[in-house]
Amino acid sequence: MVTVTQTPQKRLTMQVEEIAVDTTTMRSLDWDRDRFDIEYGLQNGTTYNSFLIRGEKVALVDTSHEKFRQLYFDTLTGLIDIASIDYLIISHTEPDHSGLVRDVLQIAPEITVVGSKVAIQFLENLVHTPFKRQIVKNGDRLDLGHGHELEFVIAPNLHWPDTIFTFDHKTQILYTCDAFGLHYCSDDTFDTNLEAISPDFQYYYECLMAPNARSVLSALKRMDELTHIEMIATGHGPLLRNHVQELTGRYRRWSQSQTKAETTVGIFYVSEYGYSDNLAHALATGINKTGVATEMVDLKTVDLQELQELVGRCAGIIIGMPPASNQAAQTALGTVLGAVKEKQAVGIFETGGGDDEPTYPLLNKFRSLGLHVAFPVIEIRETPTDNLYKRCEESGTDLAQWVTRDKSIKQMKSLGADLDKALGRISGGLYIITAKKGDVKSAMLASWVTQASFKPLGVSIAVAKDRAIESLMQVGDKFVLNVLEEGNYQGLMKHFLKRFAPGADRFEGVRTQPAENGAPILADALAYMECEVASRLDAGDHWIVYCTVYAGRVSKPEGVTAVHHRKVGNHY
């Protein structure tokens, strides 16, 4: 294994390793990247993985992020004369993997770029120079010689519309780019420590793959048709070699449970226009948190018949404003308008591509057709911030909670009377959880809080899956647990139980001071503890969040914790 470091401060390093016969990985390790797309939860950096396969002909699979330009080309030149590479396989055109394609084409103008039809189209707009190309369809093969026969698997929407997987029949490695990846940077090339990578693997799935769960299942079906898969060479994080079955099984399980959801929300936008992809994914994350499924549709390429059918069966629809000049997208939008029904929920977001139409005429049309506007239009004034993405997520949750409101009420009523009363005898204290991650802050009143361990000092908190604060309570996140005082909690309780608009500042008018970990300590709390999330257990509609406690203080030594007694077990 070879490691080339740029500067210790920047912590961008390259790792090169032979992963199979004739096959080398070049992993660009981005140790400190703390934000990626919509996953403001990113804790552990990320990697961009590129691969060199040498048969009689040579193929390069994906490149790297442009911030690795120097390091990447130094590394690649050390391995091969770049001009002699025959094929550049583009798994998809997102800039973190294709950021250096233009450079490769300059050095190796004779190279043939291999990709899906959509990827090649996107690439034309990206590189602005003619290049040799080979468009591949599902099942197409490319023989590199020495047994390296590559087979292509079309996997649209995982997570970009133009995605393909590549399977090498000799090494039985499947190159999947974003799919099965995770944002996790370590020296370990492989998935050796399953426990360490699991939270990031799941979080990545939830943010990027769950919104397209149907497409994930289609891709898995196509993967089943391949002979044995020895290794999954992902584009981010460790390569999967030790736990291929387990981790692909998780994708299958999670996607099956998503698609079983009775309620679906359609998100209609033009992919690759303005900030549409990231905003749409943030909205989808907020929707999926409630157990409602999403279908993400590119208005530019959708089949109008399918679009009409989908809109008809959606409980809610969200529109990302398409460019005024894109005729295909405008026609598709007309089809959406013709297919919507009364009582569906609707929301609109701007995409900031510079050619957006005003949103209000469209919103008024939906209103006049009897749809319920579930959240205020999400406007884009500048480059989206973490706060804007959080607002999108909360808007998605609000819309999904509205479309499932009848079901939620029915579920609450369905407990047997005796059981309900017995369960209601379980009581708890009253606490406010406050969290801050980057610029994003949130808070929630909680009573399902209990000490869970002495060594290490730990507490568990049950957090409903669709809570706004849930995305700030991922493994590794830090927050403050504020304990409310008997006789002095009404004001804080009332404040934090207000219905906040998506993205609202929940601390306005509340006296706070920052804890060491940055989260707000409430000045009127009886005590506070600084906590770090250690693990999360799936408990149906809640996450049991287990956290270690590493600091804390009491403001009044004689003060008593506020207790919350309940009458019934199906409310807090």
Ligand X SMILES: Cc1cc2nc3c(=O)[nH]c(=O)nc-3n(C[C@H](O)[C@H](O)[C@H](O)COP(=O)(O)O)c2cc1C
Residue whose CB is less far from ligand X, 23 or 471: 471
Residue whose CB is less far from ligand X, 222 or 566: 566
One-character DSSP codes across 407-472: HHHHHHHTS-HHHHHHHTT--EE-EEEEEEETTEEEEEEE--EEEEETTTTEEEEEEETT-GGGGG
Question: CA–CA distance from 234 to each of 6, 201, 282 (Å)?
Answer: 24, 12, 23
Instruction: Residue count of the chain, please give it.
Output: 572
Residues 66, 72, 73: CA angle, nearest 5 degrees: 105
Closest approach of ligand X to the CB of residue 52, in Å:
47
Residue whose CB is less far from ligand X, 360 or 572: 572
Residue whose CB is less far from ligand X, 67 or 390: 390
Burial pattern 63-89, b for ≥16 Cβ within 10 A else e, equals bbbebbeebbbebbeeeeebeebbbbb
Contact 100, 83 (CB under 8 A): no
Residues that bind ligand X (CB under 6 A): 444-448, 462-464, 467-469, 497, 500, 564, 572
> Which pair of structure tokens corresponds to residue 170?
């000799």
Closest approach of ligand X to the CB of residue 284, in Å:
17
> Which pair of structure tokens corresponds to residue 477?
């996140």
Closest approach of ligand X to the CB of residue 462, in Å:
5
Residue whose CB is less far from ligand X, 171 or 290: 290
Residue whose CB is less far from ligand X, 156 or 520: 520
Helix (H) / strand (E) containing 483: strand 478-483
Q: Which of 476, 486, 447, 464 is nearest to 566 (CA)?
A: 447
Alpha-carbon span 468 to 466, nearest angstrom: 6
Closest approach of ligand X to the CB of residue 572, in Å:
3
Alpha-carbon span 326 to 25, nearest angstrom: 40
Residue whose CB is less far from ligand X, 303 or 541: 541
Residue whose CB is less far from ligand X, 16 or 435: 435
Closest approach of ligand X to the CB of residue 567, in Å:
12
> Which pair of structure tokens corresponds to residue 114?
């291999």
Closest approach of ligand X to the CB of residue 3, in Å:
44
Alpha-carbon span 468 to 462, nearest angstrom: 14
Alpha-carbon span 391 to 441, nearest angstrom: 11
Helices (H), 128-193: none
Residue whose CB is less far from ligand X, 126 or 504: 504
Closest approach of ligand X to the CB of residue 439, in Å:
18
Closest approach of ligand X to the CB of residue 319, in Å:
24
Closest approach of ligand X to the CB of residue 441, in Å:
12
Q: How many CA atoms lie within 13 A of 527 on its CB side?
A: 17
Residue whose CB is less far from ligand X, 101 or 282: 282
Closest approach of ligand X to the CB of residue 374, in Å:
14
Q: Which of 161, 474, 439, 482 is nearest to 289 (CA)?
A: 474
Closest approach of ligand X to the CB of residue 259, in Å:
25
Closest approach of ligand X to the CB of residue 461, in Å:
6
Residue whose CB is less far from ligand X, 73 or 500: 500
Helices (H), 205-243: 213-224
Alpha-carbon span 165 to 169, nearest angstrom: 13
Computed from CA positions of residues 63, 68, 70, 75, in that sequence, does the dihedral angle turn out positive or negative?
negative
Q: Quote the radius of gyration of the chain (alpha carbons, Å).
A: 25
Q: Which of 241, 212, 92, 231 is nearest to 153 (CA)?
A: 92
Residue whose CB is less far from ligand X, 213 or 461: 461
> Which pair of structure tokens corresponds to residue 337?
């308008």
Contact 20, 231 (CB under 8 A): yes
Residue whose CB is less far from ligand X, 110 or 541: 541
Closest approach of ligand X to the CB of residue 289, in Å:
9
CB atoms within 10 A of CB 487: 9
Contact 46, 30 (CB under 8 A): yes
Residue whose CB is less far from ligand X, 27 or 564: 564
> Which pair of structure tokens corresponds to residue 21?
């016969």
Alpha-carbon span 355 to 388, nearest angstrom: 20
